[in-house]
Amino acid sequence: MPYSIMLDAGHGGTDPGAVSGGRQEKDDTLRLTLAIGEILQNSGLDVEYTRTTDVYETPYQKAMEANEAGVDYFVSIHRNSSPMENQYMGVESLVYDLSGIKYEMAQNINAQLETVGFVNLGVKARPNLVVLRRTRMPAVLVEVGFINSETDNRLFDQNFDAIARAIADGILETLNVESAEQRPQQYGYRVQVGAYRNSVYAERMLRELTEQDFPAYIDDSGQYDRVQVGNYRTLDEAVQMEQRLKRAGYPTVIVSVSAN
């Protein structure tokens, strides 16, 4: 079973978000979110959205929607703003606290956006934000440049496809998932923690692992539901994860897989 992710286009409907001239945050975020989602879907992720049109939901509604969907990850796309025009520029990502896979994902997204040309303002903890506090899965909020910065807007407009690719690559890198452009990879390695006839037991193990920030998922392509962690290019990477899982008390076996 592939990783699942809910993408949130910030604001919407009666809430335009940050505004600069005739530019509204809600429009930039929706366009970018849909582009990111297409890349992730093409790379094998199960993608859901809080919105695909110009509608408004409260942050609490968005968090509850993600919880009810039972997705593995939540990423919210925004644009920043400053008190004065052209006062600041750059990208930053926000997480509930600076730990776990959400922090790693935020760092990877920022690093990828830096390669596009944005100033990297780092990752910050924002435990008061509803979409980070009330979501049950690892969650990241990405501020893709300042909407009242001429430099950032020029980057956003001229490098739109590269920005969508950068954010998607930051997510895929964290999950050790090959992007569609990187395929085919003939072989890879995963760490298997269990194989179950009963899917209830597999789901229980999956929840236990993801709550500890292990990038786990269920492969249900065969007779058994196999709970596996990662998708590593090299055996050394898989061994490192296997050692982490063993220290946490899990039985493990490294399996070699062929790319489809």
Distance CA 165, CA 155 (A): 14
Q: φ, ψ for residue 96 (rounded to 5)?
A: -65, -45
Span 234-241, average pLDDT: 90
Q: φ, ψ for residue 6 (rounded to 5)?
A: -105, 125
pLDDT score of 256: 85
Distance CA 19, CA 209 (A): 41
Residue 259, pLDDT > 60, answer no
Residue 184, pLDDT > 50, answer no
Query: Sheet containing 187-196: which strands, arranged edge to edge?
Result: 216-219, 225-232, 187-196, 253-258
Confidence of residue 220 (pLDDT cuts 50, 70, 90): confident
Task: Flag whether the pTM goes above 0.85.
Answer: no
Residue 56, pLDDT > 90, answer yes
Confidence of residue 160 (pLDDT cuts 50, 70, 90): very high
Alpha helices in the chain (DSSP H): 25-42, 59-69, 100-116, 130-133, 150-158, 160-175, 199-211, 235-247
pLDDT score of 67: 96
- pLDDT tens by residue, 39-50: 999 988 999 999
Residue 260, pLDDT > 70, answer no
Residue 87, pLDDT > 70, answer yes
Distances (CA, A) of 33 to 26, 47, 86, 88, 98: 10, 11, 24, 23, 24
Amino acid at 224: Y
Please report, rounded to a whole number, the percentage of residues in the chain having pLDDT higher than 70. Answer: 95
Contact indicator for 95, 123 with CB cutoff of 8 Å: yes
Distance CA 209, CA 215 (A): 8
Q: Which residues face 9 on adjacent strands?
A: 77
Q: What angle do CA 222, 189, 246 make, to 5 degrees?
A: 95
For residue 230, give every residue at least 6 positions away whose Cβ sits within 8 Å of its Cβ, in sequence order, or none.
Answer: 176, 189, 190, 191, 215, 237, 238, 241
